[in-house]
């Protein structure tokens, strides 16, 4: 099993127009993201999304990217 905690992610605070809260996006996977009311909730939701994404790639016999970097990043506004 891949070490999901090795994959980098970006955290961005959502505007009121976007519904508030935080968005977490895994930079090594196109479209793998989730949100939450708090940073902790957004990270937990995104981690679940990453696990599901990796499982789907494996089921479809597609390559799983190796982690690009271990450092989480804060997206600039």
H/E stretch holding 74 = strand 73-74
**What pTM was computed for the model?**
0.82
Q: Which fold has domain 4-74?
A: Double Stranded RNA Binding Domain (3.30.160)
Quick one: which H or E segment has residue 53?
helix 39-59
Extents of the domains making up the chain? 4-74
6-63 pLDDT, tens digit each = 999 999 999 999 999 999 999 999 999 999 999 999 999 999 999 999 999 999 999 9
| Position with higher pLDDT, 68 vs 53 | 53
R_g of the chain computed on alpha carbons: 13
Distance (Å, whole) CA 17 – CA 15:
5
């Amino acid at each position: 099993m891949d070490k999901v905690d090795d994959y980098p992610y970006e955290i961005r605070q959502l505007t009121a127009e976007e519904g508030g809260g935080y968005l977490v996006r895994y930079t090594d996977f196109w479209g793998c993201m989730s949100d939450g009311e708090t940073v902790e909730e957004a990270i937990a939701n995104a981690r679940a999304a990453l696990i599901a994404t990796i499982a789907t790639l494996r089921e479809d016999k597609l390559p799983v990217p190796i982690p690009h970097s271990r450092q989480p990043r804060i997206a600039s506004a």
